[in-house]
Amino acid sequence: MYRSSAHHQRALVLGALTAGVALIAVVSLILGSNLISPTAVVTGLLDPARDVGDVVWGSRVPRTVLGLLVGFCLGVAGAVMQGQTRNPLADPGIFGVSAGASLAVVIGVYVLGTSSVLTTLWLALAGAVVASIVVFSVAALGTGLSSPVPLAIAGTAVSALLIALTSFLVLSDETTLAAYRIWVVGSLSGRSLAGVDAALIFAGLGIICAVANVRSLNALALGAEMASGLGENLVRARIVGLAAITLLTASAVAITGPIGFVGLTAPHVARAAIGGDHRWLLPASGLIGSCVLLACDVVGRLIGGTAEVSVGVVLAVLGGVVFIVIVRRARMATL
């Protein structure tokens, strides 16, 4: 009976989070730097040919859709990352995903001279995947993959190298620096739905890998030795987890550029609200990630006026404050 009650409570939490996502999506469509009444927004949604339809379908709909997608991907990736490493400070970018995407985008501008949205998307996806493969290969050459430590060390080392290469390229060419500066800040502004189908494919594969990793994550919460004693194949668990983190983070980074704090904080909030069972924790983290990212984007639109403030900047400011609160609450910070 207790188990049934716990399941009921968790289902209610997920229901509330889903309602919250729907509410913030509606708010995202209604509010923006251009003052448009809710009635006019509905009219624009139903009739894109109207003048207001250009704003609604050209800006607010893409930002809302992409915000929900990116936030969900980063939230789930963060939960998988923290579960794999048993480190409450773990962030999806630790495997070199963001650094690899950044370098690929910079190479595209520096060598190919291209900065189109679709090309940037594919370059970022490719760079993120290649960087993760390198991290995995380096870690496998060391003490193996049964422990998360080699992966974390390899990820930190590879990220440092990729960041250094990126800095060298952007500082040696003004055109590359200008394009990189716009992309690296992390923003939903000016993004379109062009190429989002590719990102959705990567994200879908990442979610499948994350779901397949649930049992292993619950076992790893007891410790690597205990998980191994329960019959878990630790190497396979690491591979599936790394694939989930890479695909989800690559999808998000390719669309908006590197965005911090969502993958770090969303799992902590979800863990406090719904518990540590990853069957519930993963969807909760994704929904919280969507809410946080889209809410911060709306805040950036309102406080910046016509100039707007990028969601990456808003998250950096608000995320720092939230993270301090999280660290001070032992129940949220402990895995």
pLDDT in tens, 204-235: 999 999 999 999 999 988 877 788 887 888 88
Give which of 78, 84, 80 is closest to 265, Cα–Cα.
78
Q: Which residue has the higher pLDDT, 148 or 222?
A: 222
Rounded CA gap, 239 and 233, in Å?
A: 10
* pLDDT value for 294: 94
CATH homologous superfamily of 2-333 equals ABC transporter involved in vitamin B12 uptake, BtuC (1.10.3470.10)
Q: Which residue has the higher pLDDT, 115 or 77?
A: 77
- What are the tokens at 94? 């630790």
pLDDT digit string (tens) for 71-102? 999 999 999 988 988 877 777 777 788 888 88
pLDDT digit string (tens) for 179-209? 787 777 788 887 778 778 888 898 999 999 9
Percent of the chain surpassing pLDDT 70: 90
Percent of the chain surpassing pLDDT 90: 25
* pLDDT value for 206: 94
Band of the pLDDT at 331, cuts 50, 70, 90? low
| 169: CB partners within 8 A, 6+ apart | 103, 106, 107, 110, 176
* pLDDT value for 318: 79
* pLDDT value for 211: 96
* pLDDT value for 279: 93
For residue 146, pLDDT over 70 is answered with: no
* pLDDT value for 327: 64
For residue 315, pLDDT over 70 is answered with: yes
Of 18-27, 69-78, 143-152, 252-261, least confident by mean pLDDT is: 143-152
For residue 144, pLDDT over 70 is answered with: no
* pLDDT value for 23: 96
Q: 172 vs 71, 124, 132, 168, 184, CA distance in Å?
A: 33, 21, 26, 6, 17
* pLDDT value for 145: 60
Q: Which residue has the higher pLDDT, 50 or 136?
A: 136
Rounded CA gap, 132 and 98, in Å?
A: 10
Q: pTM for this one?
A: 0.88
For residue 332, pLDDT over 60 is answered with: no
pLDDT digit string (tens) for 266-308? 998 899 889 888 999 999 999 999 999 999 999 888 886 667 7
Give which of 313, 302, 280 is closest to 211, Cα–Cα.
280
For residue 1, pLDDT over 60 is answered with: no
Rounded CA gap, 82 and 296, in Å?
A: 23
* pLDDT value for 135: 84
